[in-house]
């Protein structure tokens, strides 16, 4: 590169045209994050895990002074689409002053029909109506499937014994 007839190298010094190889190697080593052969990056990217989100949530809940509620064996959260989030032996915490309840533990997503005998007394009027609609849909689909199989009346009924008939033909 030339500026007003003088040669200037990339380092900005006016006196020489080539950069010192040792200085260049030192600068390259400072930029490298990993060992030899790794990619040169200017900043190291730190990936967060989901456990940090859980820790932040727990710290926020501690600020609300939640109290543990013991003796709860299961918790069910019914969604609008008819599926249920089922927690078996959850950790339930509550703060009545903040009107906050926290349910934590392993959740399984199930359908209402899978939980039927025990969940009936927990359903609201809308939930019961939705359950009735889904059951009527299931029964109509079963009867329509049975309607396809009603052609069994045209099958020829055999009154003879096959074993006896096979012995007489020998």
What pLDDT does 146 receive? 58
Residues 136 and 65 in one domain: yes
Residues 26 and 84 in one domain: no
Show the DSSP H helices in 5-115 as ranges. Answer: 21-31, 50-63
Q: Print pLDDT tens along the chain (170 aa).
A: 555 555 555 555 555 546 688 888 887 777 666 667 776 666 667 776 667 778 888 888 888 888 888 898 888 887 877 788 888 889 999 988 888 889 888 888 888 777 766 666 666 677 667 767 777 777 777 676 555 555 555 565 566 676 776 777 65
For residue 11, the enclosing domain spans 2-31
Residues 26 and 58 in one domain: no
C-alpha 57/C-alpha 64 separation (Å) is: 11
Measured from the Cβ of residue 78, the count of other Cβ atoms closer than 10 Å reads: 19
Residues 133 and 69 in one domain: yes
Residues 59 and 113 in one domain: yes
**What is the DSSP secondary structure assignment for residue 45, as one 8-state letter?**
P
Q: Is 161 within the bounds of a domain?
A: no
Q: Is 57 within the bounds of a domain?
A: yes
Residues 63 and 112 in one domain: yes
């Amino acid at each position: 590169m030339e500026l007003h007839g003088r040669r200037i190298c990339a380092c900005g010094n006016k006196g020489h045209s080539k950069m010192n190889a040792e200085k260049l190697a030192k600068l390259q080593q400072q930029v490298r994050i990993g060992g030899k052969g790794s990619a040169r990056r200017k900043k190291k990217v730190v990936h967060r895990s989901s456990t940090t989100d859980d820790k932040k949530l727990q710290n926020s809940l501690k600020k609300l002074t939640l109290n543990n509620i013991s003796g709860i064996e299961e918790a069910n959260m019914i969604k609008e689409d008819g599926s249920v989030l089922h927690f078996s032996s959850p950790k339930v915490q509550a703060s009545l002053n903040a009107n906050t309840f926290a349910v934590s533990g392993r959740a399984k997503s199930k359908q209402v029909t899978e939980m039927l005998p025990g969940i009936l007394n927990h359903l609201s009027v809308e939930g019961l109506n939705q359950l009735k609609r889904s059951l009527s849909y299931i029964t109509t689909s079963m009867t329509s499937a049975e309607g396809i199989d009603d052609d069994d009346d045209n099958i020829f009924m055999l009154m003879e014994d096959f074993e006896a008939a096979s012995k007489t033909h020998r």
